[in-house]
């Protein structure tokens, strides 16, 4: 049985601006550490420090991989933990518009570096093209997706990656054409959906950016009500970390799915481990419940979620196991790890999935890492074998 890891990253810190680390070590810390890590002769002492200081120790492996390896090496390191023939959805990320400075390797360069890995491992490396609606106009983005996912073009990209917390709503007007093409061709979309991760850095955020302007002129009432809630009210003193959560809110996808009901969409991380732990009051569902009860339903037959990163916490495995007993949800959960972000956790990649696999049992494991993944990844441009 072939394993499909549907959620991995292989970019190194050359592709990430200094502000990339801001969500991990604070904005000022990220700027300082980011700059210092660019100084090659400082990397070793700094890595040593990060490795030994109690409050930074957690990030040591992440920083070490990010700073000292090429993308091919990160990929090879990842693959070495899995049986031969395992396929990896490699998610590219466009950091060019997160206002965190210029990365040495901009997004175009990152794509070229990913292509190099794809050329070395054409069977197993399944790259996802990151789309940021601010990168180009609606028409240009539509044309890009049309071109990239033209079955005759055989570009090698198998899916689309969205990372809304970098500064846009998933119903951004420029994304309409992208969804149109993706739905028509069955192209899988992977969207970041947990409060953890990176977000738009420049504060205060432009008020216009925080406004939920949608390509859907008549979004469902649930979405409109949500946008009237307090957390959507812009205030220049509100932290970006909070404002950017609005971009990630799974409710927003109801507006997208209302127009593109057959869209193949995966809301990554199952809303996040923190959301799974929140005690429920039955009135205000958390992101995990929204995904489970409102998105992974029969009306949206092609919506998925993945357990990437979330699987690192064994206290929430029982939720996933419980959900796998539901016949509808069982078809919608994908295996992914979020390598190399998971290097912050005290497990190797192999330990991470083997622990979880042992707990699930073979049938459930096969369901999420093969059966569901194949259905999710198969499109007009790629047939998952």
Give the residues lining the site for other proteins (CB under 8 A): 14, 39-41, 43-44, 67-70, 73, 104-106, 108-109, 112-113, 115-116, 118-119, 122-123, 153-156, 382-385
CA atoms within 13 A on the CB side of 256: 34
Distance CA 206, CA 202 (A): 9
Q: Give the nearer residue to other proteins in terms of CB position, either 41 or 55.
A: 41
Q: Give the nearer residue to other proteins in terms of CB position, either 12 or 337.
A: 12
* Segments in 260-326 forming alpha helices (H): 273-277, 287-290, 317-324
Q: Give the nearer residue to other proteins in terms of CB position, either 115 or 348.
A: 115
Concatenate the DSSP letters of all residues of 153-193 into one string: T--S--EEEE-GGGT--TT-GGGHHHHHHHHHHT--EEE--
Shortest separation between residue 338's beta carbon and other proteins, angstroms = 24
Q: Give the nearer residue to other proteins in terms of CB position, either 73 or 146.
A: 73
Shortest separation between residue 152's beta carbon and other proteins, angstroms = 9
Coil, strand or helix: which one is 152?
coil
Q: Give the nearer residue to other proteins in terms of CB position, either 121 or 232.
A: 121
CA atoms within 13 A on the CB side of 254: 21
In 10 A of CB 351, how many CB atoms? 13
Q: Give the nearer residue to other proteins in terms of CB position, either 40 or 237.
A: 40
Shortest separation between residue 145's beta carbon and other proteins, angstroms = 17
- The tokens describing 170, both together, are 């998933």
Coil, strand or helix: which one is 301?
coil
Shortest separation between residue 57's beta carbon and other proteins, angstroms = 20
Tokens 């070590």, residue? 25
Shortest separation between residue 196's beta carbon and other proteins, angstroms = 28
Shortest separation between residue 347's beta carbon and other proteins, angstroms = 24
Distance CA 316, CA 313 (A): 6
């Amino acid at each position: 049985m072939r394993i499909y890891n549907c959620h991995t990253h292989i970019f190194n810190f050359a592709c990430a601006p200094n502000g990339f680390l801001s969500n991990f070590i604070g904005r000022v810390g990220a700027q300082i550490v980011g700059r210092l890590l660019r100084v090659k002769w400082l990397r070793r002492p700094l890595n040593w420090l990060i490795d030994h200081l109690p409050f930074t120790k957690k990030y040591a492996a992440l920083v070490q991989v990010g700073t000292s390896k090429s993308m091919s090496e990160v990929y090879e390191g990842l693959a070495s933990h899995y049986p031969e023939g395992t396929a990896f959805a490699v998610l590219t990320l466009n950091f060019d518009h997160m206002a965190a400075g210029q990365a040495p390797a901009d997004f175009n360069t990152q794509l070229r570096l990913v292509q190099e890995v794809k050329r070395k491992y054409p069977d197993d490396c399944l790259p996802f093209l990151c789309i940021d609606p601010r990168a180009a106009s609606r028409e240009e983005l539509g044309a890009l997706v049309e071109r990239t996912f033209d079955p005759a073009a055989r570009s090698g990209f198998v899916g689309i990656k969205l990372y809304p917390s970098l500064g846009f709503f998933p119903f951004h007007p420029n994304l309409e054409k992208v969804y149109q093409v993706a739905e028509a061709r069955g192209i899988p979309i992977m969207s970041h959906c947990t409060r953890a991760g990176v977000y738009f850095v420049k504060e205060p955020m432009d008020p216009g950016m925080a406004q939920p302007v949608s390509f859907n002129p008549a979004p469902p009432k649930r979405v409109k009500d949500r946008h009237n809630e307090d957390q959507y009210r812009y205030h220049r003193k509100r932290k970006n970390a909070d404002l950017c959560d609005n971009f990630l809110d799974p409710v927003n996808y109801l507006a997208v799915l209302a127009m593109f009901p057959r869209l193949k969409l995966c809301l990554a991380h199952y809303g996040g481990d923190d959301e799974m732990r929140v005690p429920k009051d039955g009135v205000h569902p958390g992101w995990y419940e929204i995904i489970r009860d409102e998105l992974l339903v029969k009306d949206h037959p092609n919506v998925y979620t993945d357990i990437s990163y979330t699987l690192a916490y064994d206290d929430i495995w029982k939720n996933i196991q419980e959900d796998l007993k539901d016949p509808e949800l069982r078809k919608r959960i994908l295996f992914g790890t979020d390598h190399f972000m998971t290097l912050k956790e005290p497990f190797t990649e192999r330990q991470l999935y083997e622990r979880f696999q042992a707990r699930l049992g073979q049938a459930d494991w096969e369901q999420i890492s093969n059966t569901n993944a194949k259905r999710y990844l198969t499109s007009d441009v790629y047939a998952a074998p």
